[in-house]
Amino acid sequence: MRYWLMKSEPDEASIDHLAEAPHHTLPWTGVRNYQARNFMRDTMQVGDGVLFYHSSCPEPGIAGIAAVASTPYPDPTQFDRKSPYYDPKSDHETPRWTLVDVVFKQKIALIPLATLREHPELADMRVLAKGNRLSITPVTEAEWRFITKHLA
């Protein structure tokens, strides 16, 4: 059992979209960064905990709790010429981009980025590291416990 923080732009896929999706589940499409892909492809397991983070928006922060809901499979948007995530260099025989499904667990009062930075217990969170741009980052069990018990 591992824990993750996954960023999403709420204009595209917010915690509310996830809650209202069929089976409360969405495929995590559009990741086009190898490190983030590798986390989904190689390390994530069904049931892993997910902090659902809203980024590139007026109030960035953790907006809810979710969980990994599938084993990895090819991201269909890489083959869709009409998708902004279309990748002409990928092909069906050796798909370049892999994703997992994510299932809604609960919505929480938004924990703003500034609040996360206030707590020394969270000082080493990958997502708070200077210059971090990774859309998927590991969360330690201690960080997960602190956030879900004291901030959520």
C-alpha triplet 59, 75, 127: angle, nearest 5°: 35
Shortest reach from residue 128's CB to DNA, in Å: 9
Q: Say if strands 61-68 and 101-112 run parallel, antiparallel, or are unpaired.
A: antiparallel
Which residue ranges make up the site for DNA (CB under 7 A)? Answer: 7, 9, 32-35, 55-57, 60, 89, 113-114, 130-135
Q: Residue 22 or residue 88: which is nearer to DNA going by CB?
A: 88
Q: Name the token pair of 53.
A: 């983070």
Shortest reach from residue 122's CB to DNA, in Å: 14
Shortest reach from residue 70's CB to DNA, in Å: 22
Nearest-angstrom CA–CA distance, 38 and 97? 9
Shortest reach from residue 130's CB to DNA, in Å: 6
Dihedral sign from CA coordinates of 65, 149, 131, 45: negative
Q: Residue 24 or residue 112: which is nearer to DNA going by CB?
A: 112
Q: Residue 7 or residue 139: which is nearer to DNA going by CB?
A: 7
C-alpha closest to that of 98 among 73, 117, 131: 73
Beta-sheet strands, E only, within the chain: 3-8, 25-27, 49-54, 61-68, 73-74, 98-99, 101-112, 136-139
Shortest reach from residue 86's CB to DNA, in Å: 12
Nearest-angstrom CA–CA distance, 81 and 136? 25
Q: Residue 35 or residue 106: which is nearer to DNA going by CB?
A: 35
Q: Residue 133 or residue 150: which is nearer to DNA going by CB?
A: 133
